[in-house]
A = this chain, B = another copy of it.
Amino acid sequence: MSSAANSPTALAESLLGGNRRALSRLISWAENGHPGFPAVLEAIYERVGRAWRVGVTGPPGAGKSTLVNELALQLRRAHDLQVGILAVDPSSPFTGGALLGDRIRMEELTADPGVYVRSMASRKSHGGMARAGVDACDVMDAFGIERILIETVGVGQAEYDVMGACDTVVVVMCPGAGDGIQAMKAGILEVADVLVVNKSDLPGADRLYADLVEAAHVRAARPMAAGHHGASARSASPEPEPDASGAWQVPVIQASAGRGEGIAGEASVLEAVANHRAYLEATGLDNARRQKRFAQVRRIVDEELDSRVWSRSDLEDRVLAALKAGSTSYDIARDLVVELIDGLVAQTPQEETA
């Protein structure tokens, strides 16, 4: 492409016209925090908000990739929907690309022009990964992709953050994963809108299913803390699967993604996702989505402040010297905060500080 064709305006136009190269390039812009991205988002923003964003997470070995592939196949075959798969990989560039490697085996999917598959690595900070993930989804959404499946590996805060930006979060577990189950129970049940017991033909699946049903009930019985569910969604009238308080009652689905069981049809993952969508649409989807986008604004602000503060090349040497002189981290930090705020002021345009 010529350099004019790479301008934010030209790329945005190409994207809206259905150009896949523009799609790929703009997701790279999102990933790298390209300075032209805000102008692109402005230009495509009217077309953002039509895709349904489904997050899929769970411990290593639970079968997330297989489930995502099966969901994509069903959405293509049965519903003829444009599908995007975004694999958010917490790996570094060291040996990266494992997730994409898995995908490439799914020949049926990658040969299908109705499926767009993309792997994003998190070279960036914690907040940067979730910010980039949301931006990438916005680009796919404006392109015309109707269902976006976002898969993360791991149970950390960054993955939690990525899931918090999705419309529906599917948490996948499988029997026999040992302390993985404990970690998942402890950490990520809170973000689940749909729970899936995968590999439900394996020993221990019934026990896991019973445990999860109980955990979902315990959660429903507790007053929910401020989480990724908007306040309006909690207080609205009952819909598809609400309990007496009007809150969404998390269903537990038994599936075997490797055999294609529990993916579509009755008591399936896709049915549960559709029910959750209907619930949100009935109880205030716009409010729920704005709550999630507030978190995105916060990530962008924090990233910007962080880069303004820590881009100063002299800071590290000065901190190291103060440490060598015996100051504690807190003493150094206290002095820095005062000084950095002064420094930020100096960078503020004159008309704004008057």
Chain A residues engaging chain B, CB cutoff 8 angstroms: 37-38, 41-42, 45, 59-61, 65, 89-92, 94-98, 102, 122, 125-127, 129, 134, 153-159, 177-187, 189-190, 215, 218-219, 286, 290-291, 293-294, 296-298, 300-302, 304-306, 309-310, 316, 319-320, 323-324, 326, 328-334, 336-342, 344-345, 347-349, 352-353
**What are the residues of chain B within 8 A of A340 when measuring CB–CB?**
301, 305
A174 CB to nearest chain B CB (Å): 10
A156 to B240, CA, bound (A): 35
A134 to B323, CA, bound (A): 15
In the complex, are the beta carbons of A219 and B337 less than 8 A apart?
A: no
A237 CB to nearest chain B CB (Å): 22
In the complex, are the beta carbons of A61 and B298 less than 8 A apart?
A: no
In the complex, are the beta carbons of B316 and A294 less than 8 A apart?
A: yes
**What are the residues of chain B within 8 A of A286 when measuring CB–CB?**
324
A332 to B342, CA, bound (A): 23
Contact for A59 among B60, B158, B324, CB less than 8 A: B60
In the complex, are the beta carbons of B338 and A349 less than 8 A apart?
A: yes
A288 CB to nearest chain B CB (Å): 12
Counting every copy of the chain, the complex holds: 2
In the complex, are the beta carbons of A290 and B61 less than 8 A apart?
A: no
On whether A309 and B305 interact (CB within 8 A), knowing A187-B92, A320-B290, the answer reads: yes
In the complex, are the beta carbons of A215 and B95 less than 8 A apart?
A: yes
A-B contact pairs, 26 of them (CB 8 A): A42-B331, A45-B326, A60-B179, A60-B181, A60-B182, A61-B61, A90-B157, A90-B183, A90-B186, A91-B183, A94-B187, A95-B186, A95-B218, A98-B185, A155-B156, A156-B156, A156-B159, A286-B324, A291-B320, A297-B329, A297-B332, A297-B336, A300-B330, A305-B305, A341-B348, A342-B352
**What are the residues of chain B within 8 A of A38 when measuring CB–CB?**
328, 330-331, 334
In the complex, are the beta carbons of A156 and B189 less than 8 A apart?
A: no
A43 CB to nearest chain B CB (Å): 10
A218 to B60, CA, bound (A): 24
A63 CB to nearest chain B CB (Å): 9
**What are the residues of chain B within 8 A of A42 when measuring CB–CB?**
328, 330-331
**Chain B: CB-nearest residue to A337:** B304
**What are the residues of chain B within 8 A of A61 when measuring CB–CB?**
61, 177-180
A285 CB to nearest chain B CB (Å): 13
In the complex, are the beta carbons of A348 and B352 less than 8 A apart?
A: no
In the complex, are the beta carbons of B296 and A41 less than 8 A apart?
A: no
In the complex, are the beta carbons of B296 and A156 less than 8 A apart?
A: no
In the complex, are the beta carbons of B98 and A182 less than 8 A apart?
A: yes
In the complex, are the beta carbons of B177 and A60 less than 8 A apart?
A: yes
**What are the residues of chain B within 8 A of A353 when measuring CB–CB?**
342, 345
**What are the residues of chain B within 8 A of A89 when measuring CB–CB?**
186
A215 to B286, CA, bound (A): 48
In the complex, are the beta carbons of A186 and B345 less than 8 A apart?
A: no
In the complex, are the beta carbons of A328 and B41 less than 8 A apart?
A: yes
**What are the residues of chain B within 8 A of A329 when measuring CB–CB?**
41, 134, 293, 296-297, 300
